[in-house]
Amino acid sequence: MDRDEFAERVRSHQPALSRFVARYLRSRDDQDEVVQDTFLRAWQQIARFQEGTNFVAWVMTIARFLCMARMKDRQRHPEPASLEPHLHPAAPPGPENLEKLKQAVARLPLPQREVLAMRFFDGLDYRAIAEVTGDSEVTLRSRMHDALDKLKSQLGAPKA
């Protein structure tokens, strides 16, 4: 893959990768840095990419690794609390059910949130998710089933 083709792929996949990374990291600065580092590493390792395979899954694998490393680093070295108040824009008004759903998803264990997000938000199939996470498709399907059951019970919906 030449530089121009890689640059085009970066342009077309950067928004999706940014959303993917944002689900792992809260800090906008961390998100931007990880997205940039992901594409830098992808370019440095482009010789390892096999044409005809899923470029998005390959890049998301790199991003996931960098997100996990960043999260682990933040746990080991938390930033000191700021003395200035944090200003957060007001959340747009929305249905109460949407907020309940967001809270319920946030309470899921990371592996379940991860498969749920990649499947529904990123539109990846189980094979691509398996490439990103390194888990088997059977494991991922089981996690998805468990995640959906937990969401249904938290939201008061009957189980299927």
Q: Which of 27, 36, 29, 28 is nearest to 59 (CA)?
A: 36
Q: How confident is the model at residue 145 (pLDDT cuts 50, 70, 90)?
A: very high
Supply the pLDDT for residue 157: 66
Residue-wise pLDDT tens digits, 3-60: 899 999 999 999 999 999 998 888 888 899 999 999 999 999 999 988 888 899 999 9
Residue 54 has φ and ψ, to the nearest 5°, of -80, 105
- How many Cβ atoms from other residues are within 10 Å of residue 150's Cβ? 16
Residue-wise pLDDT tens digits, 69-111: 988 887 776 654 433 433 344 444 456 777 788 888 888 999 9
Q: Which of 12, 23, 42, 27 is nearest to 119 (CA)?
A: 23
Supply the pLDDT for residue 154: 84
Q: CA torsion 5→42→15→57, rounded to 10°?
A: 100
Q: What kind and span of H or E run contains 38?
A: helix 28-44
Q: Are 3 and 44 in contact (CB under 8 A)?
A: no
Residue 14 burial (C-beta neighbours within 10 Å; 0-12, 13-18, 19+): middle
Q: Are 81 and 39 in contact (CB under 8 A)?
A: no
Supply the pLDDT for residue 17: 93
**What mean pLDDT do residues 111-138 have?**
89
